[in-house]
Amino acid sequence: MSTILLATDGSLPALAATVRAVAEAKQRSATLVILRVVEQSPMTSLELASESAALQRPEGEDGIEYAKELAALDRVPTTVMVREGPVVGEIIRAAEETGAEMIVLGTSSLKRLNRLYLGSVAKSVVSQAPVSVLVVKPTKEETKMVKARVREVIEPSPAKAVAAITRTRQFRVGLYLFAAYVIGYSIFVLFGSYIRDVFQIPTFGLNVGLVSGILIIILTIALAIGFNAYAVRAEREE
């Protein structure tokens, strides 16, 4: 059975592309592969907001739910892929892996500075793709129609989310390590303030104060690396 790859990032042009991709898939009775690429660069809220504004991305929408729902209405079978990495590279890779006969994506006309910062994904995909690419540039009417269908995304309860973490074994181990560290640091501070004579005692050619200060820094690094290694293993076991 043939497949069509839809790359979506939840922006308005991408949502418009979704409409076309579903129509295309229905006509060819193909499976629709919905691909969402999460970028490698971790962005703060404002970076995200300014990108969203530049790309006209409706808030809280990553495009997957929208595509799934549209496809379900037309009884088009779907698969969802979420990838992390450079956007263009991941789109091409996903197209190769799924043997897609066509890639569908949206593009917006970025202006001035935004073009400089964001560049054009569509342009690069067209030049590197092994198959045909349908680049959707929505008209005003299309944009309006798409906007009308976007819904809010539901979130899990915060108390449950915290409890899911604090109940794990690695978090409790972390608490013990934390307590031990705080005790060590307090002793260090006590010596540094009220029992200063001890810090002047010669040790290893230096004095107690310097040696313990340097040790705290090295211990902090070691503790962080060690705890992470333990937590990663514990997470894998779960």
Partner 1 sequence: MAELQPLSFAIFVLITLATIGISIYAARRVRTAGHYYVAGGGVRWVVNGFAIAGDYLSAASFLGITGLVAFSGYDGFIYAIGFLAGWIVALFLVAEPLRAIGKYTFADALTSKFKSKKIRLVAAISTLVISVFYLIPQMVGSGAIVGPLIGLDYEIGVVVIGALVILIVATAGMVSTTWVQFIKGFLLLIAALALTIGVLVVAGMWPIGFLEQFLSGTVNIPTSSGVTQVPGEVFMSPGMKYTNPLDFVSLAMGLILGTAALPHILIRYFTVPKPADARKSTVIAIVVMGIFYLLTLYLGLGANFFGTLDPSDANLAAPMLAMHIGGEAFYAIISSIAFATILGTVAGLIMASAGAIAHDIYTEVLGRKTDEKRALRISKATAISVGVIAIVLGILAKGQNVAFLVGLAFAIAASANLPALLCTLFWKRTTEWGIVTGIVVGLISSIALIVVSPAMMSEGALFSLFNPGIVSIPLGFAVTMGVSLLTSDRVKSEATEKTAG
Of 109-138, binders to partner 1 (CB under 8 A) are 113, 116-121, 124, 128
C-alpha R_g of the chain = 27
Q: Which span (65-73, 85-93, 99-107, 134-142) binds partner 1, by CB under 8 A? A: 85-93
Helix, strand or coil for residue 195? coil
| Residue 193 CA, distance from chain mean position | 45
For the CB of residue 166, give the shortest distance to partner 1 in the complex, in Å.
6
Q: How many residues are recorded in the chain? A: 238
98 near partner 1 (CB under 8 A): no
84 near partner 1 (CB under 8 A): yes
Q: Which is nearer to partner 1, 139 or 193 (CB)?
A: 193
Task: Report the site for partner 1 in 134-173 (rule: CB under 8 A).
Answer: 158-159, 161-162, 164-166, 171
Task: Report the site for partner 1 in 211-230 (rule: CB under 8 A).
Answer: 213-214, 216-218, 220-221, 223-225, 227-228
175 near partner 1 (CB under 8 A): yes
Question: How far is 49 from 56, CA to CA, in rounded Å?
Answer: 10
Residue 65 CB neighbours (<10 A): 16
For the CB of residue 232, give the shortest distance to partner 1 in the complex, in Å.
8
Q: Which is nearer to partner 1, 77 or 230 (CB)?
A: 230
Q: What is the dihedral of CA 96, 97, 103, 105, to 10 degrees?
A: -120
| Token pair belonging to 234 | 């514990």
Question: How far is 97 from 21, CA to CA, in rounded Å?
Answer: 19
**Which amino acid would we find at residue 128?**
Q
Question: How far is 31 from 24, CA to CA, in rounded Å?
Answer: 10
Q: Which span (10-18, 65-73, 138-146, 186-194) binds partner 1, by CB under 8 A? A: 186-194
For the CB of residue 144, give the shortest distance to partner 1 in the complex, in Å.
15
Task: Report the site for partner 1 in 22-61 (rule: CB under 8 A).
Answer: 38-47, 49-54, 59
